[in-house]
Structures are given as C-alpha cells and as structure tokens.
Amino acid sequence: MTTAVDPRTASSSSSSAVPAPLAAIGRWLTAADHVRVGASLVVSAFLWAVIAGVVGAVLGIERLDAGAAFVDSDALTQLFSLHRFALVFGVLAPLMLGVAVLTVPAQLHASNVSIPRLAAFGWWAWLAGSIVAFVSYLGNGGPGGGDERYVETYLLGLALVIVGLVAVSVSIATTVLTRRNGRRLADVPVGAFAALVTALGVSLTLPVALGTVAYLWVDFVNARVAFGGADLIDSWLGWLMREPQTLVFAAPALGVLADAAVRTAKSRQPLRGVVLVGVGVAATVVFSSVTQQAHVFEVGKTPFETLQSFVPFALFNLVPLLAPLIVIALSLLAIKSGTPALSAALVASLLGVGMVFTGLVGSAAMHIDSLGLVGTTFGEAALVYVVYGAVLAALGAIALHVGSITGRALPDIPVLLLSLVGFIATVLSSLPHYVAGFLDQPAATAVGYDDSGFVGFANVIVGLGHALMVLVVLAFGGLVLASRRGESVPDRYADEVKA
C-alpha cells in the first residue's frame, strides 16, 4: 500500500527543520532579487562610510601638530590611501549603484533588475574585493606600502572591486534599456535615466582602470621598470579617486533630486528634456577619465598657447559643472510651478547635489595652475564634498523610494533633521581644508607645514566633521531599523507623478 504525501506538507516540514537564522542567512547568500542585492550594497557602503569617517577623524587629529607623530610614517601613508579608497570604492560607487539597483525596478514598474544573477555576482565580487583591499592596507600593502605580498593583494582586491562594480552596472544599464514597459527612454523617471548614465560611465571607464591594474601587477611581480613599483601606483590609478571621475559615480544623486522635486511639489517637471540633457552632461566625464590625465589650465606666452590649454581644461573641468547646476535650477523651478513644499527627500537630495557641485567647483579651481592648489588639502576637500554629498542624496533616495519598495515609509522629520546635520558635517569636514589649501597645507602628510594659526584649527574642525558624519550614518541606520519594527508611517510620496 502506498501513502500519498502532500508536497506542501513535506516542504513545510523540511523548511521548519532549518533554524530560522540559518534559513535567513541562506536566503541572503543566494539572493538575486533587486531588494536584497541593492540593500546589501547600500548597507555595506554605509559601513564603509563609518570606516572612512573614523579614518578621517584620526587623520585630523594626526595633522593637528606637524611636529609630533601619533602614527608611524608607514601606517600614516596607508591611512591616507585607505581614506581615499574608502571614500570612492567603499562608499561612493557602491552606494550610488546600490541605490540604483534598489530603486530602478520600482521606477520602471519591473519585478526585478535584468540579469539579476550578474548583479548578485557583482555585489559579492565587490564585497570580496573591498575586504581583500582593506586587509592589504592592514598589512602595509596599499599604494606606497612596504610589504610586497600585500601590495599584490591590494591590486587583486582593487581588480575584484572593479569587476564587481562593472557587473552591477551592466545589470542596471540592461534594466533601464530593456524593461521600460513600452515607454521611450526619454519618458522614464529621471532617477532611472541618471542610473543609466552612471552605469554606462562605469562600464566604459573602469575597464580602462582594470587594464592598468593588470599592467601594474605584471610589472610589480617582475622587473618594476615600467610602472615604478608600489610608490607610483597612485600616479597611474589616481584619476579613479579624484574629480571629475567621481561625478560618474555620483550622477544618480541628480536623478534623486529631480524626482524628489516633482513628487514633493505634486507637479510635472518643466523643461524635462533640459533636465535629461543636464544629467547626460555628466557622461562627458568619460572622455576625461579615459585620458587618465589631469587637465590643468596654464596661461601661456601667447594667446594661442593659453587657448590651447584652456580648451581641454574647460571641456573636462567646467562642462561637468553644468550637470548639477542645471538639475538644481530646474528642480527648484518644478517646486515653484507645483505646490511649493519641503520634504526630507527634497532637502537631503538638494543639499547633497549642492555639495557635489561645490566639490566639482573646487576641483576646477585646483586645476588652475596660477592658484597653486595642486598637492594641497584642497583636493582632499573636493573629494569629501562629492562623496558626502552623495551620502546625503542617498538618504533622500531611501526616504523617497523605501515606501514603494517595502511598504513602510520613513518618518519625514527625523530624516530631515539628519540631512541638516549631515550637511553641517560635510561642510565641517571639507571647507576648512579648502582654506588650508590656499595656505599651502600639503596633502597626504602630517609633517612639513606650519600648523600655527588657522591650519591647526582647520584640521581639528575637519576631524570633528568626519566624526559627525559617522554619527549621522549610524543614526540613519537606526532610524531605518526602527521604522521596520514600529508603527506604519504614511508615505507622502505614494502618489507618483510622472517625472
């Protein structure tokens, strides 16, 4: 005699045999849906933001007194390099791509990203690479490091990070191009269009860097005559971690602002085509990135020599300024043409894009030879402005879209307050170094400058600014967790307006 077994009962009994925590870990390890992959990238980027903030605070304390060293020289070199790596490849790139993976399917009314397994592979590759790179820094193997084994490990980690980011970008680009539900590309939400710009930019520029990493590794393990060893890694790959390349990563912040403006004002976007052009201007950075050079403006002996220097400088440093400028102006116009109002998503994204713009302006100024800002803390401040501006925009993106993704919105007032505190933290951690740059404080060193007067005070303020941003990130994470367990909050962005 045979006994029939209900498959649903069998499935239920087999799943109940697995402890809930292990089952949850298993689902996370094998996840290929956009919510889990995107959330994993965003959470990991926020953890890296904590690391970057802590390192920035330590460096601020270290540079307080140029005559006394709290950290030995080798460790200090690694800390400066780790800070740049953490800001760009730990925070900026994965955070913006994670926001895109998390929100683009909802914007397009799609069930998931295209090629979801590729996106999941990209997340795991980036995570593994970032951990490997972090370990290499601990072993004195980052750029300028003295341990040969860990220098090779750093190059391996950086290669994995690049591969992961490109894989995620291909998934995002494919999603926007193939899952528009019959809409023209010009009709998709600006946030999805901005994500496409970043995805294409990353897919075009990072493979160039990956090829450079391969050459560096081959040279390092052999003669070290072509690229110069660990001390010159940054000279070949430094373009990855400075402006205007960072605008490629930060472009989704522009889309967040444009979408937040129309949803807050309950209006349509005036001059929508101009907004799309403004976002698309960010793609011009690709031409600068593939040259792998800093285009400096120098006044020549003749007008022709001056013009010859100005044209590439303007193309690669001034034109990108139009992207955030156009989006800010037309977002404010959308607020005016609709029902003028404020929201957490609008304030956070507006402040964030404003900080990105400030960083790009600083980068352009740094590339004017007569100002003498190259090699000073001015460049560090420009990078921090862009990265922390993107963090603020990410707070706005999560506030804007989390309700449609999870069904549980965030309370508006706490996010608004955290955005304002994050803005203060960004200014404190950047603006003093803009001023110190004009006072000739050198970058990436804690010795060899006059720390009296404003310079010493500036380093203290910068350290406090980084520490404050750490608190903002942790507080926002706590707010998101609390919102998942607390009472439901009405989603003020639920009535979607065509952006």
Secondary structure in 3-state letters for 260-308: HHHHHHCCCCCCHHHHHHHHHHHHHHHHHHHHCCCCCECCCCCHHHHHH
Number of separate domains in the chain? 1
Residue 282 has pLDDT above 50, yes or no: yes
Task: Give the percent of the chain with pLDDT over 70.
Answer: 90
Name every residue whose Cβ is closer than 8 Å to that of residue 364 and which is 6 or more positions away in sequence.
317, 318, 321
CA distance linking residue 69 with residue 65, whole number of Å: 8
- Domain assignment present for 495: no
Q: Which of 178-187, 325-334, 351-360, 469-478 has the lowest mean pLDDT?
A: 178-187
H helices, E strands: number in the chain: 19, 0
Contact (CB, 8 A) for 161 and 109: no
Q: Identify the burial level of 155 via C-beta atoms within 10 angstroms of its C-beta, where 0-12 means exposed, 13-18 middle and 19 or more buried.
A: buried
Task: Say what the pLDDT of residue 151 is.
Answer: 87
Give me the phi and psi of 452, to 5 degrees please: -80, 165
For residue 156, what are the domain limits? 34-485
- Domain assignment present for 52: yes
Band the pLDDT of 13: cuts 50, 70, 90: very low
- Domain assignment present for 25: no
- Domain assignment present for 490: no
Looking at residue 372, which CATH number applies to its domain? 1.20.210.10
Which residue, chain included where needed, has tokens 């004002």? 265
Band the pLDDT of 339: cuts 50, 70, 90: confident
How many Cα atoms within 13 Å fall on the side-chain side of residue 185? 14
- Domain assignment present for 11: no
Residue 91 has pLDDT above 80, yes or no: yes
Residue 93 has pLDDT above 90, yes or no: yes
- Domain assignment present for 66: yes
Residue 3 has pLDDT above 50, yes or no: no
- Domain assignment present for 4: no
Query: Residue 464 corresponds to which tokens in the numbers above?
Result: 């406090």
For the entire predicted model, the pTM comes to 0.91
Band the pLDDT of 44: cuts 50, 70, 90: very high
